[in-house]
Amino acid sequence: KLPIMKRGEPGEAIIFGDSAHVLRTNIEQIYGDYPSLDGCPLAEGELGDIADGTMFIGLQQYYKNYGSPYKLCFGPKSFLVVSDPVQARHVLREANTDYDKGVLAEILEPIMGKGLIPADPETWKVRRKQIVPAFHQAWLSYLVGLFGYCNEPLIKSLNDIAESKDRKAEMETYFCSVALDIIGLSIFNYEFGSVTQESPVIKAVYSALVEAEHRSMTPAPYWDIPLANQLVPRLRKFNSDLNLLNNVLDELIDRAKQTRQVEDLEELEQRNYEQVSDPSLLRFLVDMRGADIDNKQLRDDLMTMLIAGHETTAAVLTWALFELTRHPECLKEAQAEIDRVVGDRTPTYDDINQLKYLRLIIAETLRLYPEPPLLIRRCRTENNIPAGGGREATVIRGMDMFIAIYNIHRDERFWPNPDQFDPMRFTRPYSNPDIPGWAGYDPTKWENKLYPNEIASDFAYLPFGGGARKCVGDEFAVLEATVTLAMVLRRFEFEFDSDYQTADKCSINDMPKRTDHPVGMRTGATIHTRNGLHMLVKKRLLE
């Protein structure tokens, strides 16, 4: 076996830290006539397949050719691509401490610092313990009402559009705005009001998001090159937007610290949120931990949640409306459930429990359009992954990895008719004896939960990841998406705006394969539409 260079050994470029080590190992393996250390096939194909903004679709094609895992090379850089639930379970849960966020952490560090997503394992351990209790039951129940409040401007805007002559609405943008308003108010008690207005702070949030996405698609960290931040106009603009956002967050943190009420965890978890003037997560973190939390750490945590909790939910709302418009029978059933359970009221937590079909729609949307479609890891210590439905492999230290959730969610060995939108599939058990070590899908395992999770599917369904670094906002997101859909679908009907057909009038059913489609798909951190979700809006006729 190749001797592996240790971090900081002579010869390793300090500027790129771990990346230099990975790069060297990869160059030696691929071009230096050394055998591949992991025993995986090398995927070869057109780079164009993955460079057009739909990388996850290209990775699915390679998966069909090479199985799991395979190795993908971009010039001297390579990634191991894992597309199997047993292997994903191993990396995310069983051998979790042997992996970190690798490239993702390097990309996101300038934006999120040591926030939970990019945090190194040591920082993560401390922060995760402090943040998880903030998502307690009393807060989540209260938030359902707050989500309803944040949806009112959206309902009003759609009403105005439905009464206008052309009835046109680009729904992806509307869902992004409502999700931003929700995250602002619930995480740090800030009213963006983005459904109805634009502001420099809102623009700064979008600039940070666009830059984070751009960086995640850029192989070389050009922003680390000396003076680049001063000389490149795009980076100058980004840094000034980031400063603006950081200043707003600093102000909110200072204010929360000055008005801190000392309480213990138990008292905080029993709080009557209806009587609290600032019910935000920031308030909870400050009240619980006090003035001893470093402002920079708090800011990193808030920025992480702002970015992680905003576009993801907007994307699931967008694709849910897209699929419901294509499947009127599912829409009718959802609307009948909403009429029966909620009617014209603002939904409550108990209502959400009863809106089971609507929650299945959200779950099925996340199966077809996982946000993000790929998880990123880097191996910290040489590690063997089990075969599952693929092949065993030795992952060398420093190897970068994609866990292709999109591939797992759309594999017929785990999900029969995988490309079919079928919310009721989550009510039917499924097993496959051909996959050693996979327990199958068992609907009884999520009976008391809000959505069919990774445990019920033994890691074949990973909308919020799994293991120690699973999403902390999973229930928040499901509640938010359910409230928003319940309020919108109760009041409006939608149809695709035919002005947005391409010249050849390609069918909506071609969408996953086509990049020139009027809706189309493209990725950054999440799956966006390529051209917006352009709809015609009509008020619903209610008896």
- Regarding 212 and contact with ligand HEM (CB under 6 A), the answer is no
Which of 309, 388, 390, 398 binds ligand HEM (CB under 6 A)? It is 309
How far, CA to CA in Å, does 29 sit from each of 1, 25, 395, 501?
11, 6, 13, 47
Alpha helices in 220-348 (DSSP H): 228-231, 233-258, 265-269, 281-289, 295-308, 311-326, 328-341
233: cis peptide before it, omega within 30°?
Answer: no
Considering the rule CB under 6 A, would residue 305 count as an interface residue with ligand HEM? yes
Instruction: Rule CB under 6 A: say whether 268 interacts with ligand HEM.
Output: no
Is residue 192 a contact point for ligand HEM (CB under 6 A)? no
Question: Given the complex with ligand HEM, which of 463 and 518 has the nearer CB atom?
Answer: 463
Q: In this structure, are residues 483 and 141 in contact, taking their beta carbons and an 8 Å threshold?
A: no
Output 57 or 316, the one with its CB closest to ligand HEM. 316
Residue 308 found at the interface with ligand HEM (CB under 6 A)? yes
Min dist CB 377 to ligand HEM, Å, is 7
Shortest distance in whole angstroms from residue 306 CB to ligand HEM: 8
Pairing outcome for strands 393-395 and 383-385: antiparallel
Q: Which of 476, 487, 528, 529 binds ligand HEM (CB under 6 A)?
A: 476
What CA–CA distances, in Å, run from 213 to 145, 199, 219, 254, 280?
31, 21, 12, 29, 27
Q: What angle in degrees, to the nearest 10, is found between the helix axes of 102-112 and 18-31?
A: 150
Least separation in angstroms between CB 444 and ligand HEM: 24
Beta strands in 22-162 (DSSP E): 42-43, 70-74, 77-82, 99-100
Of 13, 38, 14, residue with least CA distance to 400: 38
- What torsion do the CA atoms of 220, 224, 226, 230 make, to the nearest 10 degrees? 110
477 touching ligand HEM, by CB under 6 A: yes
Rounded Cα distance, 368 and 169, in Å? 24
**Of 144 and 477, CB closest to ligand HEM:** 477
Chosen residue from 63, 139, 238, 464 binding ligand HEM by CB under 6 A: 464
Task: Output the smallest distance, CB 309 to ligand HEM, in A.
Answer: 3
Q: Is there binding between residue 116 and ligand HEM (CB under 6 A)? A: yes
**Cis omega before residue 69 (within 30°)?**
yes
Contact (Cβ atoms closer than 8 angstroms) between residue 131 and residue 285: yes
Nearer to ligand HEM (CB atom), residue 135 or residue 500: 135
Please state the closest distance from residue 44 (CB atom) to ligand HEM, in A.
Answer: 27
Please, which of residues 359-388 interact with ligand HEM by CB under 6 A? 366, 371, 375
The residue (of 128 and 326) whose beta carbon lies closer to ligand HEM is 128
By CB under 6 A, the count of residues binding ligand HEM is 22
Q: Please say which residue, 142 or 464, places its beta carbon nearer to ligand HEM.
A: 464
- State which of residues 253, 471, 488, 511 lies at the interface with ligand HEM (CB under 6 A): 471
**Nearest by Cα to 79 from 374, 371, 368:** 374
Which stretches of the chain bind ligand HEM, using CB under 6 A?
A: 116-117, 128, 304-305, 308-309, 312-313, 316, 366, 371, 375, 463-465, 469, 471-473, 476-477
